[in-house]
């Protein structure tokens, strides 16, 4: 007894130290990242304010001044995680992304009220003092956390301000996610062992000791499984191997520069750039592999690209309707816009269902896809380009059962095993293709009600059947226990469960064993255990181990077996 408690205590202490150490490392790493980012952003803002001061005091034409200011903000990456603007001492906007510099100004106070970010008014108040500052902001409805920065533009009566989202910046990197995951797992293990050890030591009666210790262990493991699910839900993000996300102009320019060197070395010359933008009106998931998307797409052509045939080819579309909507010409640039309705052939893995994050993607190629032409994201015609602001998607888009997380452009090299009969076809050399991606996260409530809750009810019903198992003849008549009755109940539940699993895998078009399958596998296992247990109890030859304390062994390990298996499966599937 004492040796057992000593061993359990040592394991508890080990897991406790391991978990707290990992969580401490994670917390310190996040704090350091935050301090470094705030310090760097403050320096960038001050430097950019000085450069803008030089521009504003040099009598530059207003339209050119706006372009130069916008170029400075992009170069300093102050717009990569939010947006920047210039305020006067009254709190009026004198520069705002997407608006002309000398347009009729609107006020940050009315903007804060309209966008339901009341704390933004702090920036207006601070602009009156003409001092630099850093502030914590948050959205009233969503609770989205942000930083606010201000810096005076000397030589003027204006202040440069910037608002940046915290979540994209403080998103844990791979090493931090590992520390957090190991820390949470270690603490869960420590708490589970602690509950088991305390109940084992406190109760003297063997029967009470077993029931209380296994019950507390099961509750701890269940809470631990929920914690891992929450961890996955909050930290899981979409990623595709070899894909290059293009989330800001600086990244795009660097990527295109590398591409130009590559194509020139291969003898294809400099790629023709076609700025391409997209706006999604509706997204409908018609089946596990069919997604219908409608919206607008536009392209801008200049003198260098006037020889290119306008239009877009959607290679993943099984149905495609494209109709020209408008043509606009400005400063020798011609923009053509089309509306489209396409049915895409895509599939979701569902590996971590119902805690999965997936992506709806649109692959876009030139009509002359065999030439040295590359589509580039038309960032100039989006007000906000940070992925969490969902650029390119109608705010009213409704996608039942899913939540839109972010949108972004990306490049992925296309590799084909043919040149389509074109001897100088560029695409066989890993030529990049433009994608527009919509990252979506499944809402947990619907799968919980339709999938998890029925399985929980089945597990409870099987446990009730198990409780009727008795080795005492006096209890048989009271409980109505018989192996035949147990097998009949198990058989009825078995067909319900297996049909539900087949239906789930069919709806998800699953091609591999997914996380949710383990819930069904556990239920099948307890079906077998309870069935075999009932047969062995009714067997003419009694088994002393099974009949100890009236089948206490099997009854007491029922819930620990279920919760421990779920906990291990969660560790396997949700490991970063």
- Output the domain CATH number for residue 105: 3.30.450.20
pLDDT surpassing 70 at residue 488 = yes
**539 to 113, 479, 482, 487, 526: CA distances (angstroms):** 75, 18, 11, 14, 20
Q: What is the 3-state secondary structure (H, E, C) of 320-339?
A: EEEEEEEEEEECCEEEEEEE
Q: Give the pairing type, strands 82-87 and 158-165.
A: antiparallel
What's the DSSP call for residue 573? H
Q: What residues are paired with 322 via a beta bridge?
A: 340
For residue 388 the two structure tokens come to 């969490």
Mean pLDDT of 286-291: 86
Residues 382 and 314 in one domain: yes
Question: CA 285 to CA 294: how far, in whole Å?
Answer: 12
Residues 455 and 438 in one domain: no
Query: Which of 121, 155, 170 is the last residue before a domain boundary?
Result: 170
Q: What is the 3-state secondary structure (H, E, C) of 212-248?
A: HHHHHHHHHHHHHHHHHHHHHHHHCCCCCCCCEEECC
Residues 147 and 210 in one domain: no
What distance, in Å, lies between the first and last C-alpha atoms of the chain? 39
Query: What pLDDT, in 10s, does the model give residues 151-176?
Result: 888 888 888 888 887 776 777 667 77
On average, the pLDDT of the chain sits at 82
Top-ranked range on mean pLDDT: pick from 87-96, 277-286, 347-356, 410-419 = 277-286
Mean pLDDT of 515-534: 93
The pTM assigned to this predicted structure is: 0.74
pLDDT of residue 256: 84
- Band (pLDDT 50/70/90 cuts) for residue 105 is very low
Which of the residue ranges 180-189, 415-424, 448-457, 562-571 would you say has the lowest mean pLDDT?
415-424
pLDDT of residue 101: 38
Q: State whether residue 176 is helix, strand or coil.
A: helix
Residues 151 and 12 in one domain: yes
Tracing tokens 């062994």 back to the chain, one arrives at 553
CB atoms within 10 A of CB 102: 12
CB atoms within 10 A of CB 537: 21
Residues 191 and 269 in one domain: no
Phi–psi pair at 81, nearest 5 degrees? -125, 20
Expressed as residue numbers, the domain containing 497 is 174-235+446-574
pLDDT of residue 436: 95
Residues 160 and 186 in one domain: no
| Structural domains in the chain (count) | 3
Question: CA 150 to CA 134: how far, in whole Å?
Answer: 7
Residues 217 and 264 in one domain: no
Q: State whether residue 552 is helix, strand or coil.
A: helix
Query: Which of 150, 170, 190 is the last residue before a domain boundary?
Result: 170
Residues 259 and 405 in one domain: yes
Residues 406 and 509 in one domain: no
Query: What pLDDT, in 10s, does the model give residues 238-256?
Result: 666 667 888 877 678 778 8
For residue 499 the two structure tokens come to 């049909």
Residues 382 and 249 in one domain: yes
Question: CA 331 to CA 548: how far, in whole Å?
Answer: 90
Residues 359 and 387 in one domain: yes
For residue 413 the two structure tokens come to 């090299």
Query: Which of 128, 147, 170 is the last residue before a domain boundary?
Result: 170
Q: Are 213 and 219 in contact (CB under 8 A)?
A: no
Residues 227 and 330 in one domain: no
């Amino acid at each position: 007894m004492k040796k057992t408690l000593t061993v359990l205590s040592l394991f508890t202490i080990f897991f406790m130290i391991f978990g707290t150490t990992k969580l401490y490392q994670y917390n310190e790493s996040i704090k350091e990242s935050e301090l470094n980012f705030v310090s760097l952003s403050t320096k960038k803002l001050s430097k950019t304010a000085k450069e803008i001061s030089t521009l504003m005091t040099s009598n530059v034409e207003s339209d050119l001044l706006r372009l130069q200011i916008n170029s400075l903000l992009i170069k300093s990456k102050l717009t990569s995680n939010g947006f920047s603007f210039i305020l006067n001492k009254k709190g009026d906007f004198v520069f705002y992304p997407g608006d002309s510099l000398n347009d009729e100004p609107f006020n940050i106070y009315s903007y804060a009220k309209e966008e339901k970010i009341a704390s933004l008014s702090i920036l207006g108040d601070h602009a009156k003092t003409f001092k630099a500052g850093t502030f914590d902001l948050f959205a009233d409805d969503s609770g989205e956390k942000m930083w606010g920065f201000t810096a005076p533009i000397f030589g003027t009566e204006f202040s440069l301000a910037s608002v940046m989202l915290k979540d994209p910046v403080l998103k844990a990197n791979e090493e931090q996610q590992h520390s957090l995951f190991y820390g949470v797992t270690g603490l869960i293990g420590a708490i589970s062992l602690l509950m088991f050890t305390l109940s084992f030591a406190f109760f003297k009666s063997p029967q009470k000791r077993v029931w209380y210790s296994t019950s507390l262990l099961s509750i701890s493991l269940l809470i631990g499984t929920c914690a891992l699910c929450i961890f996955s839900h909050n930290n899981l993000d979409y990623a595709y191997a070899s894909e290059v996300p293009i989330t800001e102009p600086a990244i795009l320019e660097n990527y295109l520069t590398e591409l130009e060197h590559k194509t020139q070395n291969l003898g294809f010359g400099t790629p023709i750039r076609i700025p391409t933008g997209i706006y999604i009106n509706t997204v409908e998931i018609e089946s596990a592999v069919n997604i219908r998307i409608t919206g607008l797409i536009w392209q801008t052509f200049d003198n260098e690209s006037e020889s290119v045939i306008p239009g877009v080819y959607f290679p993943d579309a099984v149905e495609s309707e494209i109709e020209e909507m408008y043509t606009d010409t400005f400063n020798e640039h011609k923009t053509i816009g089309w509306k489209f309705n396409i049915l895409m052939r895509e599939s979701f893995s569902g590996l971590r269902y119902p805690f999965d994050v997936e992506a709806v993607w649109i692959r876009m190629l030139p009509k002359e896809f065999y030439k040295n032409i590359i589509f580039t994201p038309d960032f100039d015609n989006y007000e906000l380009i940070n992925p969490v602001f969902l650029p390119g998607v109608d705010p009213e888009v409704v996608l039942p059962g899913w939540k839109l997380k972010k949108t972004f452009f990306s490049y992925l090299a296309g590799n084909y095993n043919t040149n389509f009969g074109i001897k100088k076809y560029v695409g066989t050399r890993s030529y990049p293709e433009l994608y527009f991606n919509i990252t979506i996260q499944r809402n947990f409530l619907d799968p919980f009600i339709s999938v998890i809750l029925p399985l929980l009810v089945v597990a409870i019903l099987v446990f009730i059947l198990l409780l009727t198992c008795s080795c005492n003849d006096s209890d048989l008549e009271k409980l109505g226990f018989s192996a035949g009755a147990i097998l009949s109940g198990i058989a009825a539940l078995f067909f319900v469960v297996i049909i539900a699993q087949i239906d789930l895998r069919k709806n998800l078009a699953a091609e591999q064993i997914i996380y949710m399958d383990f819930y069904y596998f556990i239920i099948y296992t307890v079906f077998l255990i309870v069935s075999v247990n009932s047969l062995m109890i009714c067997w003419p030859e009694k088994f002393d181990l099974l009949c100890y304390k009236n089948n206490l062994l099997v009854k007491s390990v029922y819930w620990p077996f279920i919760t421990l298996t779920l906990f291990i499966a969660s560790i396997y599937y949700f490991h970063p």
